[in-house]
A and B are shown apart, each in its own frame.
Chain A
Amino acid sequence: MKLRALKAAFPNTIPIMAGFFFIGITYGIYMRASGFPIIYPTIMSIIIFGGSLEFVAVEMLLSPFAPVSVFMMALLIQARHLFYGLSMLEKYKNTGFKKLYLVYGLCDESFSINYTANIPEGVDKSWFYFFVTMLNQSYWVIGATTGALIGSLFKFEIKGISFVMTAMFVVIFLDQWMKEKIHISAFIGIGASLVCLLIFGPNSFMLPTMIVILSILAIFKKPFSRLEVEK
């Protein structure tokens, strides 16, 4: 039963494999280039298992200790997972003990596969979901670990490597932008960050930025709710 589910799950994860290996390797190299022990990327890819946050965590680990800001930022970056959970309530029903891991590993990619997959007749659904999640996480962990090993080979500093994070968020931002008709939220995000950066400086502007963004969204909930955002 398990083998059958694994065989059905694997082909669905192939496109994710390439992406996770690449971004995972980049992440591992970046972690090493930032001076962290080889074990960090492996551990972080296992216990955080969220790509965007792990990249941001590199910056956070390099900055002065700020637990409140870290926690709030992590919540905001990961907030989108709330909707994955809401959409998967029905599908992850009756999955038994596996549900714990399914929820733990509910990243963007596992969500998109498990939400849309047509599971063949006779394949156990809960094992199918389980293997999709597990395969995706193993690509990510293997990628990050490989990257850390490759990073250890460079005895010199890789100048400009941190730009991979900038490029990654620019691409995600652009993808999000192209899905929208109205870009008001994008402008709020960039505007609030720039204003707070000017006022509070690079080391302490994130917490005020997040408060400003959430306040604006809360204050203008009524007019904004009426807008058709998505194309």
Chain B
Amino acid sequence: MTVTQHIITIALCSLATILTRSIPFLLFRENKETPEFIKYIGKFLPSAVFGMLVVYCLKDVNITAFPFGLPELVCILVTILLHLWKKQMIFSILGGSLLYILISYLL
């Protein structure tokens, strides 16, 4: 990518963010009922999007050759266990990532 393409990509991210934050203020008046479709999407979209993002992070993992995606699998499981145990976001992310970095150097 060229620097111009970087700038466009970053600008599009910024624009999308500004749009999602400002649309309610531009479109809806106070005390008006939230449109049903928005409510529905609000309930159902977040889990799907975060599930999609987890897969996105793992898109370049090759499970057909050594180490067969095992480091990712193990570190994700460790992250989940740490999070179920302490429910501290920083702790879980740090634990899983440090283990992954360690494994990356050992392999």
Which residues of chain A have a CB within 8 Å of any CB of chain B? Answer: 18-19, 22-23, 26, 40, 43-44, 47-50, 52-54, 56-57, 59-61, 64-65, 67, 70-71, 74-86, 88-90, 92-93, 99, 103-104, 106, 158-177, 180, 183-190, 192-194, 197, 202, 205-206, 209-210, 213, 217, 221, 224-225, 229-230
Contact = CB atoms under 8 A, between A and B. Distances in A.
B52 to A, nearest CB: 5
A160 B101 contact: yes
B42 A171 contact: no
Contacts, number: 252
Contacts of B37: 221
Contact of A79 (B12, B40, B45): B45
Contacts of A104: 18, 21-22
B22 A61 contact: no
Given A75-B19, A85-B25, A186 B51 contact: yes
Interface of B: 1, 5-6, 8-25, 28-31, 34, 36-38, 40-60, 72, 75-76, 79-80, 83-84, 89-90, 92-94, 96-97, 100-101, 103-105
Contact of B48 (A44, A82, A90, A217): A217
Contact of B75 (A22, A82, A163): A163
B86 to A, nearest CB: 11
B46 A176 contact: yes
A75 B16 contact: yes
B60 to A, nearest CB: 5
A189 B49 CA distance: 6
A192 to B, nearest CB: 7
B105 A169 contact: no
Contacts of B101: 158-161, 163
Contacts of A85: 20-25
B38 to A, nearest CB: 6
A33 to B, nearest CB: 11
Contacts of A173: 47, 50-51, 53-54
A103 B17 CA distance: 10
B47 A189 contact: yes
B76 A19 contact: no
B100 A170 contact: no
